[in-house]
Amino acid sequence: MLSSFAIIIIFGLIGGIVFTKLKLPDLLGMLITGIIIGPYCLNLIGQDILNISSDIRMISLIVILLRAGLDLNVQKIKKIGKVSLKMSFIPCIIEGIIVIICSMLFLDFTLIQGGMLGFILAAVSPAVVVPMMLDIKEKGLGTDKHIPSLLLASTSVDDVFAITLFTAFMGIYFGSNVNMGIVFLKIPISIIFGIFLGICIGIILVKIFKKFHIRDTKKTLILVAISILLYCFEDFSKNVIPIASLIGIMSIGFAISEFRPVVAKRLSKKFNKVWILAKILLFVLVGATVNINVALNSGLIGLLIIVIGLSGRALGVLISTHKSDLNFKERVFCMIAYSPKATVQAAIGGVPLSMGVASGDIMLAIAVLSILFTAPLGAIGIKNSSYKLLKKEY
């Protein structure tokens, strides 16, 4: 296990540096490094690490979500609230529906099979979008209209919709009596409970940090540990109270930023340092899940479905930003920034196959292909278009 960690860190760093020199996103270098040293290519990562890969990736994602939350405040939420709300579900639902239709036409899927594939593909990747938005914000791009914050706030909620609807279609496939009305009702309930619980935890931590002198490094560790417990609590409570834990984790950071902004700024610097390691682990291990041979099995039909689905997502972004204060260039940037797939597809793409769903192998192949196709192009598109489409404030 130790040698695998060393290999991941060394090769991940090298991959990131090489791509930075090429003026490409470093996370793209780490992702490709993961593919190369992963089990489907050079096989340099031990099985013991791969067995806990999903947990390591989630901890890394928690780090960047906390960092994102520490950057939000009430003033920003007020300015982006309505557009962010629409961005949270309209693009996801439109993309999911279009993929359902395409899979029924091109792959002879049933409505239920199409629903599973549709909402595997419909989730945007917070692992790609969130760190890139933080980087863009630090460069002062689009900050006059809070565009990075808009995409930060929308991304995690988008995933809640996609995962919930995927789970619902899975339940229908296996004969569960799933009421889609209740499913849609659970989504806002889970988001509200997640935000409420996150803010409550954040307020409690603010009071503790105010009363007791705790070093910022220890505060950072406490935040990560509590966020992990909140994520675990979501699975424990899902049959009683649905909780969107990723939103809750971001809300913890938001509460600290709102009530103790000075502390939030110091903690942001700490999380920036932690993110150096977390980024390598996250993207190298996401890359390690990618089986290129499986992706190629989906062929041109799979790529066509992905592209048409992304067109639907782009339409959803245009609808969501209609009548907002964003100009056309800024709306185009939002379309590009909302395209990368990686985290959710790596996590649930293989679930239908493992559960014995008919055509589960095709779903996995298309999910893997979506990572290979959209993560690199999306990351490059976000970086390059940000300078051309967004206004630099400072």
Do residues 62 and 314 touch, judged by C-beta distance below 8 A? no
Ranges of the chain whose pLDDT falls below 50: none
Q: Is residue 26 in some structural domain?
A: no
What is the predicted pLDDT for the residue at 207? 95
> Does any domain span residue 308?
yes
pLDDT (tens digit, 9 = 90+) per residue, 55-89? 998 999 899 899 989 988 777 777 787 898 899 99
Residue 18 in domain: no
Residue 46 in any domain: the answer is no
Residue 131's SS3 state is helix
42 lies in some domain: no
Which residue range is the domain that position 347 belongs to?
53-282+292-394
Interhelix angle 180-211/216-237, nearest 10 degrees: 150
**Residue 48 domain-assigned (yes or no):** no
pLDDT number for residue 180:
72
- For residue 276, being part of any structural domain is answered with yes
Tell me the per-residue pLDDT of 281-339, one tens digit each, with 9 for 90 and over. Answer: 999 998 888 888 887 777 789 999 999 999 999 999 999 999 888 999 999 999 999 99
The residues with which 392 forms a beta bridge, in sequence order, are 141
Q: In the chain, how many domains are there?
A: 1
Q: 117 lies in a domain?
A: yes
DSSP string, 263-308: HHHHHHHHHHHHHHHHHHHHHHHHHHT--HHHHHHTHHHHHHHHHH
Number of H helices, E strands in the chain: 18, 0
Nearest CA-CA partner of 294 in 368, 389, 204, 358: 368
pLDDT of residue 297: 77
**Looking up tokens 């988001």, which residue turns up?**
191
CATH at residue 174? 1.20.1530.20
